[in-house]
Amino acid sequence: MKKYFLLSVLFLLTVSVNAQKNYEDAIQIIEVWLDAQKDYEKLPAIIASVTEDQDKIWAGAFGLANPGNNTQADVLTLCSICSISKLFTSVAVMKLYDEGKLRLDDKIEDVLPWYDLKQQFKDTAPITIRSLLTHSSGLPRESNLPYWTGPDFAFPESEEIREGLSEQETLYPSSTYFQYSNLGLSLLGEVVAEVSGLPYEEYVQINILEPLGLDNTYPFLPEDKYGDQLAVGYGPLKRDGSRDKLKLFDAKGVQAAAGFSSTVGDLGKFGAWQLRLRDTSEAEILKPSTLKTMQRVHWTDPDWETTWGLGFAVSKGPDGTTWVSHGGSCPGYRSILLVNPASKRTYAVLINANGTNPGKYATGIHAILNKIKTETEEEKDETKKESGDELKLDDYVGYYDSSPWTSEVYIGAWGEKLVMMRLPTSSPTEAMSFYKHIEGDTFRRIRDDEELGETLEFERAETGEITRYKSHGNYSKKLER
């Protein structure tokens, strides 16, 4: 049962405690959930982290960075972050904007004189820096080369992308529809190089990565670390339950759109910088007002569902708060960076396989943490008084066989209560139920309206160990782990 704690390299001892909230019980549930989903979804590894403002709450790793030689993933494991790369490119563009070296309404052909992609619509707004940042430029998604095609993923050099522009044409009139475009962000990488006078990679390294102390973030995938610190990537799950190992790719000319690699720790630092900058009047890489501008909605698609800032996806969450984010998907890797300014939390998730949306893990972690309620010591003492002697909840903690209804359930401690979670699940909080101690080995479910529901009764062996529980008249046996 404790194996996932070992895999997380103790997350710098796993837990930091907020002055008003203790996340320890929630983190245990997060670990149980991610460890189970890794197995049930047959993922090589899931790596995740949470920061709150400037503090790391938790980071953990589950599974294998390289199944071929049984290399365990840990919180320093590198993965391709693919399209999260676009955020670094967007910040670079906006730094040049802050310095007065370009304007958001500059036309792309005025900044890049060699740009010659055909504009097929006569009545169209110009393609500008702003429309490239919001993916509303009308450009096609990709350049005119099949670099997402396996098994070799032959990404083009910048010169090949330039040469192929004349063979392409706009897909829509500019500022008409949202069309996600790797070509557009690749061109913004060229803008950074053209305007700054430095190679794109060098500009980002000097002006963003080094000042933020992102020592484990690279504008490429370091081949010399592949299979060790850099995780090996795998394809989507096939019908037979297997995944194909994919070749390591080099994004080359698409570097500014999809070429970076990083760790969950560095992504957490990147999110912490955003939250720090939003709360100050002092510039740090960008002016605070510039970042806030980037993280406001600048484009709403006609469907009223797709909203985008300058480089960032900007959306309203189920709780009504604003989320700023970016996801990534490249051959063998999936990633997500979510920042919630209201809670001041940053969530980063890396997976070294395709076919699974990491966003569900980030939002699931957020939902679990939000179940924690501030509880005073007096309230804790009152709970103990109601229950009698201090409970030894560890007796009940563990996995239980719940077949044929679900694969298993996990019962853990949550303050002075028990929490039950059905596994596997894509929505952990919907799969969670809480139980209040009544007497002896008997608990009752706490309904959403705080009334008490059905009984959960545990049974012990003669030696005192819990062997099973009874609910609704039926039994579930405790599993050995």
Q: What is the pLDDT of residues 138-184, one digit of tens each?
A: 999 999 999 999 999 999 999 999 999 999 999 999 999 999 999 99
DSSP helix/strand/coil, 92:
helix
Residues of the domain holding 251: 1-372
Question: Are 306 and 383 contained in the same domain?
Answer: no
pLDDT of residue 173: 97
Question: Are 300 and 254 contained in the same domain?
Answer: yes
> pLDDT tens digits, residue range 253-277?
999 999 999 999 999 999 999 999 9
Question: Are 186 and 312 contained in the same domain?
Answer: yes
Number of domains in the chain: 2
| Cβ–Cβ < 8 Å for 47, 39 | no
Q: Largest alpha-carbon pair distance within the chain?
A: 85
Last residue in a domain, options 324, 341, 372:
372
Question: Are 385 and 294 contained in the same domain?
Answer: no
pLDDT of residue 127: 98
Question: Are 241 and 146 contained in the same domain?
Answer: yes
Q: Which residues pair with 307 in a beta bridge?
A: 300
d(CA 454, CA 443): 9
The CATH number for 167's domain is 3.40.710.10
d(CA 49, CA 25): 16
pLDDT of residue 20: 44
Q: How many CA atoms lie within 13 A of 247 on its CB side?
A: 12
DSSP helix/strand/coil, 315:
strand
The residues, ordered by sequence, that sit 6+ positions from 238 with a Cβ below 8 Å of its Cβ are 244
Question: Are 345 and 395 contained in the same domain?
Answer: no
| Cβ–Cβ < 8 Å for 375, 368 | no
Last residue in a domain, options 352, 372, 392:
372
The residues, ordered by sequence, that sit 6+ positions from 472 with a Cβ below 8 Å of its Cβ are 454
pLDDT of residue 412: 97
> pLDDT tens digits, residue range 306-328?
999 999 999 998 889 999 999 99
Last residue in a domain, options 345, 372, 399:
372
> pLDDT tens digits, residue range 398-456?
999 999 989 999 999 999 999 999 999 999 999 999 999 999 999 999 999 999 999 99
Identify which of 421, 426, 395, 427 has the alpha carbon closest to the alpha carbon of residue 408: 421
pLDDT of residue 373: 73
Q: Which residues pair with 459 in a beta bridge?
A: 468
**pLDDT band (50, 70, 90) for residue 113:** very high
Question: Are 133 and 280 contained in the same domain?
Answer: yes
- Given phi > 0 = left and psi -120 to 50 = alpha, else beta, which region is 476? beta
Question: Are 305 and 221 contained in the same domain?
Answer: yes
pLDDT of residue 481: 79
**pLDDT band (50, 70, 90) for residue 378:** very low
| Cβ–Cβ < 8 Å for 59, 50 | yes
pLDDT of residue 1: 39
> pLDDT tens digits, residue range 53-111?
999 999 999 999 999 999 999 999 999 999 999 999 999 999 999 999 999 999 999 99
Residue 9 phi/psi, 5-degree rounding, is 50, 35
Question: Are 330 and 398 contained in the same domain?
Answer: no
The CATH number for 384's domain is 2.40.128
d(CA 131, CA 120): 17
Question: Are 342 and 421 contained in the same domain?
Answer: no
DSSP helix/strand/coil, 86:
helix
> pLDDT tens digits, residue range 200-242?
999 999 999 999 999 999 999 999 999 999 999 999 999 999 9
Average pLDDT over residues 1-12: 37
Question: Are 447 and 386 contained in the same domain?
Answer: yes
Q: Residue holding tokens 């796993």?
A: 14
Measure CA of the first residue to CA of the last residue in the chain; give whole Å: 5
Average pLDDT over residues 282-297: 98
Q: How many CB atoms lie within 10 A of CB 355?
A: 16
> pLDDT tens digits, residue range 326-362?
999 999 999 999 999 999 999 999 999 999 999 999 9
Tokens of 330: 């490249």
